[in-house]
Chain A
Amino acid sequence: MGLPDILFYVFAALTLLCGVLVVANPFSRSPVTSAMFLVLTIISLAGLFVLLHAFFLAAVQIIVYAGAVIVLFLFVIMLLDLKEEQRRKIKMFGFVGGLVSVGAIVAISLKALKAAHPGTDLPAPQLEGGTAALGKLLFTQYVLPFEIVSVLLLVAMVGVILLSKKDLK
């Protein structure tokens, strides 16, 4: 077991632990805590991306998610001035139903993974997801989706401006 493998287990455990704390924090139910643990989840995911040699995506992950998306979340939390979520009575049916359905999905996907047996006869990966390689692909083969995504961003911007106007007509 080399250093990358140990780092994989460290980052994977960190990702899942922080993910649990986003969803179900036993100490605090405030959305701010969830947002903070979401930052930690995303940073450890970026670590996993680095282990997968996707360096550009790791940087984008931190810049876009931890930098922009989480700040937007925190800004909205501040804007809404939410009180600490009061403990309402948890409906037993919803609780058990959710747990059972999610457990079933996990069981099915793990079973499918076990049946598929990937990774045993794959060649040694030598891929480097650097900026140059990704950029070349992005501006040759995927140039049309790239332009469409830019239009999508424009549409989202216009939509947000329209939605946040004081009196919607």
Chain B
Amino acid sequence: MEDGRWQHACAISVLYPPSSIRAVENMNVGLEQYLVVSFLLFALGLLGVVMRRNLLVIYMSLELMLNAANLALVSFSRFNNKLDGQVLVFFIITVAAAEVAVGLALIVALYRKRQSAHVEDLTTMKL
């Protein structure tokens, strides 16, 4: 897939921008770097949700987006010296586990009815 390589090239160029390689004293990893990783992971998840057509892969991309939010919360918690962000991440992980269980049960129920896990075959609500 071309877009994957493109995205990866973007990730590399954002992670290692030429200006930051020149400014060596600014290479200390701080909140900013963690947030950039989190944004890019979120964008990857969103890209998967928008582009892929398989329900299961779309669900995995949703997990990717949740994990990106978790990373942002943990880094905020670390750099603000407060543990509350980590407690929130704990709850997010719990809710995500429940969500995955229910969502996968829905997908299985749908598959039993339609024999397909492909979003283009699910057009009941199309006008």
- Give the B-binding residues of A (Cβ under 8 A): 1, 4-5, 8-9, 12-13, 15-17, 19-26, 29, 31, 34-35, 38, 41-42, 45, 48-49, 52-54, 56-57, 60-61, 64-65, 68-69, 72-73, 76-77, 79-80, 82, 85, 88, 94-95, 97-99, 101-102, 105-106, 109-110, 113, 117-120, 122-123, 125-127, 129, 133-134, 137-138, 142, 145-146, 149, 152-153, 155-157, 159-160, 163-164, 168
Contacts and interface: CB of A to CB of B under 8 A. Distances in A.
Contacts of B98: 152-153, 155-156
B44 A98 contact: no
23 contacts: A1-B27, A1-B28, A9-B29, A16-B11, A16-B41, A20-B11, A23-B48, A23-B51, A38-B60, A73-B59, A73-B104, A76-B56, A80-B108, A80-B117, A85-B118, A101-B50, A102-B47, A110-B14, A113-B39, A118-B30, A118-B35, A134-B90, A142-B91
A125 B77 CA distance: 10
B105 A163 contact: yes
Given A98-B50, A127-B77, 17 more contacts: A15-B41, A17-B11, A42-B67, A52-B74, A52-B77, A53-B78, A54-B78, A79-B108, A80-B108, A85-B53, A99-B3, A102-B46, A119-B32, A129-B86, A138-B90, A145-B91, A156-B98
Size bin of chain B's contact surface: 35 or more
Interface of B: 1, 3-5, 7-8, 10-12, 14-15, 27-37, 39-41, 43-48, 50-54, 56-57, 59-61, 63-64, 67, 70-71, 74-75, 77-84, 86-87, 89-91, 93-102, 104-109, 111, 117-118, 120
